[in-house]
Chain A
Amino acid sequence: MNYTRAYYKKRLKPIPIYLLVIILSLVFISPFLIMVTTALKTNADAFELPVKLFPRKIIWSNFPEAMEKIPYMRYMMNTVFITVLSIGGQLISTPMVAYSLAKIRWKGAPIISSLIIGTMMIPYTVTMIPLYKIWSGLGMTNTYIPLIAPTFFGSPFYIIIMRQFFAGLPNSLMEAAKIDGAGEFRRYAAIALPLSKPALTTVGIYAFINAWSDYLAPLIYINKTEKLTLSLGLQGFLNQYSVDWTHLMAAATIFVIPVIIFFLFFQRNFVEGIATSGIKG
């Protein structure tokens, strides 16, 4: 009797947790579900009462149609171009700066470190107007330079992640190379960088997602139709009187899928990146 009671107690204890987790998971996943199911509906189906989650008949044609209603491929190419160069920029600049702070003992390192954390607190709206003035003065509006150039100078969040990683590399490796006569750059490029693939991946993924979904910067600098990015281009489905929801959701689905795929593949990097920078920062 006693045994079975304890047994059942142990067995039944996690049930409330499971229930809560399942309900919450359904709630959190439902916007994705609604996005995809709406993309698979006909317009009449989407605007039918009572509202149903699943389409009456699955329609795939919304996807090719959505890609024709706005110059989707064009916007996609623009976005890919910006994204690739941004990732490249971050991967060149971030580890260099982080290396300087973590592995070179020099006078400026503490000052630079606190300045980096300080700049994280500057709201974008404060620097937005002068930056716009500078870039437009240089005739760079409607080019991607204002969007890409800053990535070649390192971003605080990524530098902190990288610095944390470099700090964990044993100094003995660098010192051994130093004795062998390797210069600072050699030690950086031949020892530190190859060892830091996990951290570089993390930075790359963040850079990818941020460039891919950036909205405010393109909104300020890009207004020529053929130059728009996907995030701006999605607004092409809104018009004066109504929103073309089925096609918009189809377009949004294609826009979101790369992000989800990258996330699922590199989930661990995400979680670690946030945990190290969030608590320490």
Chain B
Amino acid sequence: MSKPIGIKMKKSERRDNINGFLFALPWIIGFICFSLIPLLTSFYYSFTSFNPVKAPEWVGLENYQYLFKDPLVFKSLKNTLFMAFVSTPINLFIAMLLASLLNSKFKGRGVARTIFFMPSIIPMIAATMVWIWMFDPTYGYINRVLGFMGINGPSWLVNPAYTKWALVLMGTWCTGTTMLICLAALQNVPRSYYESAEIDGANVIHKFFRITLPCVAPVLVYQAVLNMINAFQYFTQVYVIINASSGGGSSNASGGPANSILMYPLYLFNTAFSYMKMGRASAMAWFLFVIVCVLTFIMTKVTKKISNNGMGGE
């Protein structure tokens, strides 16, 4: 009696395996064609010299050696690290500030949330164009507003000392996604924690540092690393800014004033599609990939550690 049932179970299990595979097949094919094969090919290309009209030719480690010799690689990496380590904390702070505001009760909260979030869904190209116009040293609104406060605004996108700060400022406008995630995290903090703290006579500052922050810390750390990973992919904004100032000719690829906004992905793009050195660009891409992998690894480790400690400690 038990044998037929066993066979039947096996049969339905096998059918589930087949069905599951068939349903997932689109993604599996896509993964192999658009991720796995390109990833491995890119690794192979990084040891070759090639361009669209020339077949790949093996050059060994030359591309990687060049990486460490090229001053522009170093420069672009420095610019990108600036975005990762200066822009990220500022964005997180703004996102957290907005989320805390939205987490308190007031009339028109929904409207405020809409207004804070909306910039994040605007096409990057349109947003960047508006900001270029606002950054105009003479006719722009930012310097006009600074003028009201008695500050003589700089030539934001011309003076290499300010270009990256202009990007940072622009970035704070688009923290909507991080803000929403922070808000969800804030709303997940159990009410009862605050209530018992109030009975103990805790004030707002105490409540924030002793309850709110430990509870949302895992989410904040996760978002911080995610923002850093995104910083390593920072491309469209700088590409558009540089194009706008050079008159739209995409052939005159450069890095902005004194290469001050030459971001790593932009230099990679230029190397591949303007200088047509695709082997070298592949080596750059793999170097970037390793950095992102390390960051991702840190992200998962730290998040696990904090979420284990944070809840147990309080």
In the complex, what residues of B have CB within 8 A of residue A127's CB? 34-35, 38-39, 42
Given contacts A49-B138, A129-B42, contact A93 B26 (CB under 8 A): yes
B107-148 with Cβ < 8 A to chain A: 108, 111-119, 121-127, 129-134, 138-141, 144
Name the segment of A55-63, A103-111, A194-202 touching the other chain.
Answer: A103-111
User: Contact: A213 with B180, CB < 8 Å?
Assistant: no
Given contacts A21-B101, A129-B272, contact A108 B243 (CB under 8 A): no
User: Total contacts A to B, CB within 8 angstroms?
Assistant: 267
Question: Taking the complex as formed, is B202 at the interface, i.e. its CB lies under 8 A from any CB of chain A?
Answer: no
CB of B160, distance to nearest CB on chain A (Å): 21
User: Contact: A17 with B141, CB < 8 Å?
Assistant: no
In the complex, what residues of B have CB within 8 A of residue A116's CB? 27
Given contacts A109-B20, A252-B129, A274-B180, contact A29 B115 (CB under 8 A): yes
In the complex, what residues of A have CB within 8 A of residue B34's CB? 127, 131, 150, 153
For A184, give its contact among B19, B33, B134, B181 (CB under 8 Å).
Answer: B19
In the complex, what residues of A have CB within 8 A of residue B288's CB? 123, 125-126
> CA A121 – CA B112 in complex, angstroms?
32
> CA A112 – CA B23 in complex, angstroms?
12
In the complex, what residues of A have CB within 8 A of residue B119's CB? 28, 31
CB of B21, distance to nearest CB on chain A (Å): 6
Produce 1/0 per residue, B235-263, CB < 8 A to A. Answer: 11001100110011110000000000000
CB of A108, distance to nearest CB on chain B (Å): 6
Q: Which residues of B contact A (CB under 8 A)?
A: 15-17, 19-24, 26-31, 33-35, 37-39, 41-42, 45, 52, 98, 101, 104-106, 108, 111-119, 121-127, 129-134, 138-141, 144, 173, 177, 180-181, 184-185, 188, 219, 223, 229, 232-233, 235-236, 239-240, 243-244, 247-250, 265, 268-269, 272-273, 278, 281-282, 284-286, 288-289, 292-293, 296
Q: Shortest 10 CB-CB distances between A and B: which pairs? A: A153-B30, A106-B20, A213-B123, A100-B23, A238-B248, A127-B38, A130-B38, A278-B181, A240-B247, A130-B41
